Amino acid sequence: MNVPHSIARRCLAAALAIAVAACGGDGSNQPGPPASLEVVAGSGQSAVVTNFVSIAPSVRVRDANGNALSGIVVRYSVQSGGGTVTGDSARTDVNGVAPSGSWRLGGTLGAQTLRAAAQGASVTITATATSGPPAVVVPVSPQSSAALVAASVTPVPSVEIRDGFGNALAGVPVTFTVTLGGGTVTGGSATTDGGGRAAVGSWTLGSAAGLNRIIARAGGASLIFEAQALGAAPVAASAESPTAQNGFLRYMVPKLPRIKLVDGFGNPSPGIPVTFAIVGGGDAVLTGTNTVTDAVGIATPSDWRMGVAATSTVEATIGGGFGLPKVTFTATGTTSPFLIDIRFVTPMIPDLRDAFAEAGLRWMGIITADIPDVPVTIPSSACGFVATGPVNETVDDLVIFAQVTFIDGPGNVLGRAGPCVRRTTTRLTTIGGMEFEEADLINLKVSNRLIPVITHEIGHLLGIIKDTWVDRGLISDAGSADPIFTGTEANAIWPSFTISHIGRLVPLHNADGAGSADSHWRESVLENELMTPFVEASGVFMPLSRLTIASLADLGYMVDMNKADPFLTNISFPTDMSIRYPGFLLNEQLYPAKYEVDPVGRLKPIN
């Protein structure tokens, strides 16, 4: 039987349809490639910056028909925020889910995103990074300022609070507390604004001049603000040195004029102009006349020297229009037969200048007669170790050039001294020099040993020094273990000292180098006498004894023995120098004269 082709085709199609149905469907449920990813867990979380989110993100992969796909590789990567992800590659399980290992957020506040992708399909996971605790208090206003006492500081201290990643924190409590100076604050408890900033309401300094301080705290972080409370406008001026002094004509007035300005609270008023001027005794010399008050409210000129007029008067005028009265200082002078003219090569602070003046006065009170004047002409720096400046004058009686400078730092060489020009007939110094280590001199000032040390050095320039003694035949066995001073006046004085010394007289120092041996009294015998080579401990008196004055008489000076200090020989000192001394070796460098000058001014080098 022949079947038509059209009928045969219809039968074949029907058979195929039956077969497909028998095999399970029409093919629309077969797995396809990944078409979409959906977040299963971990989206919409919050965590503090740089911390892990609590739930590790995971996604499910589906095909276009919504079928969950297993065995698909999903890759995780940070899209924004700067964090990190671990387990960034995972295969989907039978449910089509692939979890990440963990997600640590970055340091940026706000939304951060993580991308999950599989074969062209992807999804974005979002989390919010919140701020950490306060970690840093950053100044917005200056940390250091100044204002008058009892005045308000402007601008007021203000801060910005940040976490450990530099994020500004809003809504953080901040406290401002006074810790120094006794001032007050208002609005000491504040809260940061949207930009993380907070400010104290006001800060009023205390009534005492000096440093004031407040501290700003937020959580465990803090920041200090400081303000210098300045003395207010001066309301009073007072003399800080004697207003009436006695001294010698043609010499420094013993104490420089000093005035102090204070405000209404008694605080010093710094930076106020003060002018000093001579108003009586016209031939006196005043230098450094235009000054300002220092940090403690004191003003002083550089130097004040009397002329030949019997009195000299200085007035201090306070500038700035404060209406304060002038302060007057007067010095009365008498003629000293012997003049020590100390000339400063370097500037001197007032206390150092006064120490030099007092040291010179001590010797001028001892020497009672003039020595012959002599004309001298020398070039600049003729002394070598100290800058003398040119000299072309008649010297009466001793000129000393003094400077304080850096030599080699504290505790090394304290000073250098020596005659520069001496007289041919007597070998006595005409021009000499002294140089001191500035650091050592400041330390001596603090310990009240400055004046004895300067007095000691002037003693060398007057002739208490090996080279002069040798030239005058006043020393025996120099350089030996037992050098002695042979001057008749000094030896005549010795028995009155009642010192237990078995040996030759008068014993000179025999140790501790060239600057000590042969130019000082022996330390182990005369102990605390001024002209031994050691400086005593602070508080131990260093007397200028009759022995030292007698040695000047042996050099030819006319002297007043009654000006000697009492020399106590019953002071008990340990024999072991290492035990004895909180005092110290002077460590001097002593120089011989370089020139001689005869009575008519003829100068020649000393070979």
Whole-angstrom distance, CA of residue 426 vs CA of residue 421: 12
Please tell us whether the domain made up of 34-130 is placed in CATH 2.60.450.10: no
Whole-angstrom distance, CA of residue 254 vs CA of residue 245: 7
- Looking only at the bridges linking them, the beta strands covering 398-405 and 173-180 are unpaired
The pTM score is 0.67
Let me know if the fold of 34-130 is the same as that of 136-230.
Answer: yes
The CA angle 45-51-55, to the nearest 5 degrees, is 40
pLDDT of residue 569: 54
pLDDT of residue 15: 42
DSSP result, 317-359: EE-SS--PPPEEEEEEEE--SS-EEEEESS---HHHHHHHHHH
Domain boundaries, the chain: 34-130, 136-230, 234-335, 336-596
Buried b / exposed e over 499-533, threshold 16 CB at 10 Å, is: eeeeeeebbbbbebeebbbbbbbbbebbbbbbbbb
Mean pLDDT, consecutive 10-residue segments, the chain of 607 residues? Answer: 44 40 48 93 92 95 94 95 93 95 90 95 94 89 90 95 88 96 96 96 91 94 92 90 96 97 90 92 91 93 95 94 94 96 92 96 96 90 77 93 87 88 94 91 86 95 96 95 96 88 92 92 91 88 95 97 82 46 75 93 90
pLDDT of residue 320: 83
Whole-angstrom distance, CA of residue 226 vs CA of residue 213: 4
Torsion over CA of 471, 473, 474 and 479, rounded to 10 degrees?
70
pLDDT of residue 497: 86
pLDDT of residue 567: 85
Whole-angstrom distance, CA of residue 274 vs CA of residue 325: 12
The CA angle 366-372-374, to the nearest 5 degrees, is 125
Out of 3.40.50.2300, 2.60.40.10, 2.120.10.30, 1.10.3720.10, which CATH number does the structure's domain 136-230 have? 2.60.40.10
**Residue 345's closest CA among 377, 315, 380?**
380
> What class is the 234-335 domain?
mainly beta
Out of 3.40.50.300, 3.90.132.10, 2.40.50.140, 3.30.70.1150, which CATH number does the structure's domain 336-596 have? 3.90.132.10
The CA angle 567-571-575, to the nearest 5 degrees, is 120
Whole-angstrom distance, CA of residue 148 vs CA of residue 264: 12
The CA angle 79-53-192, to the nearest 5 degrees, is 90
SS3 content of the chain, % helix, strand, coil (to 5): 15, 35, 45
